Amino acid sequence: MQQQFIRNFAIIAHIDHGKSTLADRIMALTKTVSERDSHAQLLDDLAVERDHGVTVKSRTVRNYYRDQTGQDYEYNLIDTPGHVDFNYEVAKSLAATEGAILLVDATQGVQAQTIANYRIAQQDGLTIIPVLNKIDMPAADVPATLAQLHDLNPAFDRAHTLMISAKTGEGVPAVLEAIKERIPAPSGKPTAPLKALVFDSLYDPYQGVIAYVRVLDGQLDLSQPLTLMQATLDFKAKGVGVFSPTMHPQATLNAGEVGYVVTGIKDPRAVRVGETLTRKTAPATAALPGYRPAQPMVFAGLYPKDNDYPALREAVLKLGLNDTSFSFTEERSEALGMGFRCGFLGAFHLQIIRERLRDEYGLEVLATAPNVTYQVTLKNGQHMVITNPVQFPAFGLIETVAEPFVRAEITTPDNGLNAVLKLVDHHKGTLLDLGNSGDLVVVTAKFPLSEVAAHFFSELKSVSHGYASLNTEFLDNEVADLVKIEVAMNYAPVDALAMVVHRSDAPAITQALVKQLKATVPRQLYPTPVQAIVEGKALARVDVPPLRKNAAVNGEAHSVSKKAALLRRQSQNKRRATQSQIKLPQSVFNALLEL
């Protein structure tokens, strides 16, 4: 297709504002998929995505649109994920487009993720089409949402904003026309040396890495060997094509087009997102700027529930190929056996990975309470990066400990401001800025990442009755007064329960901790002392009560032989119990998360 008839665009929106529904609508109207298939939400093909109704990994789809004059256009739609943990994926996808549809749910109005995604798109210089969705719903407040959009950008006025219902299809044809009219055609040079941006990738066990590419200049085909410029890796591609919505091989991808390359490369980490793809002979003169790789922010141990370590290992390796922002290393816990210490973009990402292990690999895993990374400097000058609280050095050896801080942008309706400020304070936030955008307030604050990594998002939702939203970015590591809490059961330390907390919180947390453990640790036949130890001192202690009273002694007047049989059984049980360790169920770790 000639460049002037190509349009590359993304749909950006806050979570649940209807992005996937609109994408399905567009695919149905352009007959990329049949009406019958369209409500199956084809873009969200991972099982977790369907469960949560959330888009995790970006997709691209080529659609052909015939306008009212009969002219055909190539519409490359790039799907982007909506949850805060996946902002990084949004930025990657937008780099491959010239325009974006900014979709806002008219029942909810502009939300934090709307603003965050709008800013990314604006920084990339994209043409943005504002669209109000869900106008079929009685709760839709069109005038208020229009006013909010106008606050975001004065150019988003009534005349330039489209009103649709992605669900009923009302107004969607006008969106297709607006894409053609407002979003510029790509402007690459078809005869220049090949230069293509790798903006995403997928791993296929048979074909190796399949790279999603946007061709900027030149022509991509199978005639010549290709090179990844940053990795300086040469390869012979096995196929090029487009998703429509399944893979359709093509002879070439031309300047301005979006599609895939089957690289045949078996190491997914060799094909980095942000890479520049060119020809081995006649390469492009300079590589594209590229991206910073995604940094794992939150760490947790994953252990097999039924000792099936080999199965977990295989599943984790495969997931790592498919999701390069998920990192892992083998670790051994005294309490839980062999497992993995894994890095995630955030707590939600951890939840997604657990569900993928369950749905795609049939594995139930035990996840330890998540923690952040600690930068420890020892008195002897040695520097350590700690991703597992167990490795936290003994207190006498430590000179300083630094922990990660994030900058968080919280957007809330102004009547929720007080509750939000209280929450910020409660989580050790330092207020940096307070700004207005219509009747929304944007609170910018600095937090220790550990304070916002786990529960903050749901607490925020709850204090604001669902209206506030959150966007975080890493700032730096700063020195903090941190101590390790060790848990001992039966006077033996249980490594999987160790945690690192602020010293000022240690007394309250240790008390709450032993209380939670008393409620969740499985009872044994004997009382189990549980201690929470900080810097060698037990700050809190409880005894987990034994399973049951001594039936043989307490019972009614049984016959002597019955009593003897009971005692025999009990002593056997006792022996068994002292041999095996206390098994920690998931509920113990969940309870720790509540602290």
SS3 190: coil
Task: Spell out the residues 6+ positions from residue 445 whose beta carbon is closer than 8 angstroms to its own.
Answer: 407, 408, 410, 424, 429, 430, 431, 432
Q: Residue 589: enclosing H or E segment and its boundaries?
A: helix 586-593
Residue 20 within binding range of ligand GTP, rule CB under 6 A: yes
What percent of the residues of the chain are helix, what percent strand, and what percent coil, each to the nearest 5? 30, 35, 35
Using CB under 6 A, pick the residue from 3, 5, 16, 577 that binds ligand GTP. 16
Within 8 A by CB and 6+ apart from 478, the residues are: 402, 403, 405
Q: Which stretch binds ligand GTP (CB under 6 A): 11-19, 231-239, 404-412, 439-447?
A: 11-19
349: contact with ligand GTP by CB under 6 A:
no
Q: Based on CB atoms, which residue is closest to ligand GTP, 169 or 264? A: 169
Query: What is the closest distance, in whole angstroms, from the C-beta atom of residue 23 to ligand GTP in the complex?
Result: 7
Q: How far is the CB of 55 from ligand GTP (least distance, A)?
A: 4
15: contact with ligand GTP by CB under 6 A: yes
The answer to whether the CB of 489 falls within 8 A of the CB of 520 is: no
- Would you call 439 helix, strand, or coil by DSSP? coil
By CB under 6 A, residue 59 contacts ligand GTP: no
Q: By beta-carbon distance, which residue lies closest to ligand GTP?
A: 82
54 vs 213, beta carbon nearer ligand GTP:
54
Of residues 45 and 399, the one with the C-beta less far from ligand GTP: 45
Within 13 Å and on the Cβ side, how many CA atoms surround 55?
A: 29
Query: Is 20 known as a binding-site position?
Result: yes
Q: Give least dist CB 209 to ligand GTP, A.
A: 25
Question: Would you say how long the chain is, in residues?
Answer: 595
Q: Which of 8, 10, 12, 19 binds ligand GTP (CB under 6 A)?
A: 19
Site stretch for ligand GTP (CB under 6 A), options 48-56, 143-151, 359-367, 368-376: 48-56
583 is in an annotated binding site: no
Beta-carbon contacts of 281 under 8 Å, excluding residues fewer than 6 positions away, are 224, 225
State the DSSP code for 288.
Answer: -
C-alpha 204/C-alpha 212 separation (Å) is 13
Phi-psi map region of 490: left, alpha, beta (phi>0 left; psi -120 to 50 alpha): left
CA distance 72 to 6: 9
Considering only the stretches 160-168, 300-308, 511-519, 527-535, report the one whose residues sit in contact with ligand GTP under the rule CB under 6 A.
160-168
Was 587 annotated as part of a binding site? no
171 contacts ligand GTP (rule: CB under 6 A): no
Q: What is the total count of residues that contact ligand GTP (CB under 6 A)?
A: 19
Binding ligand GTP by CB under 6 A: which of 59, 134, 427, 484? 134
Give the gyration radius of the chain's Cα atoms: 28
- Min dist CB 17 to ligand GTP, Å, is 5
With binding defined as CB under 6 A, does residue 55 bind ligand GTP?
yes
Question: At closest approach, how far in Å is the CB of 182 from ligand GTP?
Answer: 21
Please state the φ and ψ torsions of residue 582, each to the nearest 5 degrees: -70, 125
Closest CA to 452 of 294, 298, 296, 295: 298
Is residue 339 at the binding interface for ligand GTP, with CB under 6 A as the rule?
A: no
Position among 82, 171, 188, 296 found at the interface with ligand GTP (CB under 6 A): 82
Interface segment toward ligand GTP; rule CB under 6 A; list 14-22, 150-158, 289-297, 536-544? 14-22
Sequence-ordered strand ranges (E) for 480-576: 482-489, 492-493, 499-502, 528-534, 537-544
Tokens 């749910």 found at: 105
Residue 186 lies near ligand GTP (rule: CB under 6 A): no
Options 50, 150, 160, 167; binder of ligand GTP; rule CB under 6 A: 167
Quick one: which H or E segment has residue 422?
helix 417-426
Q: Which of 12, 18, 32, 91 binds ligand GTP (CB under 6 A)?
A: 18
Instruction: For residue 16, say whether it is annotated as part of any ligand binding site.
Output: yes
Minimum CB separation from ligand GTP for residue 351, in Å? 14
3-state secondary structure 244-270: CCCEEECCEEECCCEEEEECCCCCHHH
Closest separation between CB of residue 76 and ligand GTP, Å? 18
Binding to ligand GTP by residue 137, rule CB under 6 A? yes
DSSP state, 192?
S
Q: Is 133 annotated as a binding residue?
A: yes
Other beta carbons within 10 Å of 508 = 13
When the beta carbons of 131 and 445 are compared against ligand GTP, the nearer one is 131
133 binds ligand GTP (CB under 6 A): yes
**Residue 135, marked binder:** yes
The answer to the question of whether 17 is labelled as a binding residue is yes
- Residue 122 buriedness (CB in 10 A; 0-12 / 13-18 / 19+): middle
Q: Of 130-138, 280-288, 447-455, 557-565, which segment contacts ligand GTP by CB under 6 A?
A: 130-138
396 labelled ligand-binding: no
Contact 6, 73 (CB under 8 A): yes
Q: Which of 12, 13, 445, 468 binds ligand GTP (CB under 6 A)?
A: 13
Q: Residues marked as binding for GTP?
A: 16-21, 133-136
Q: Residues marked as binding?
A: 16-21, 133-136
By the criterion CB under 6 A, which residues form the site for ligand GTP? 13, 15-21, 53-55, 82, 133-134, 136-137, 165-167
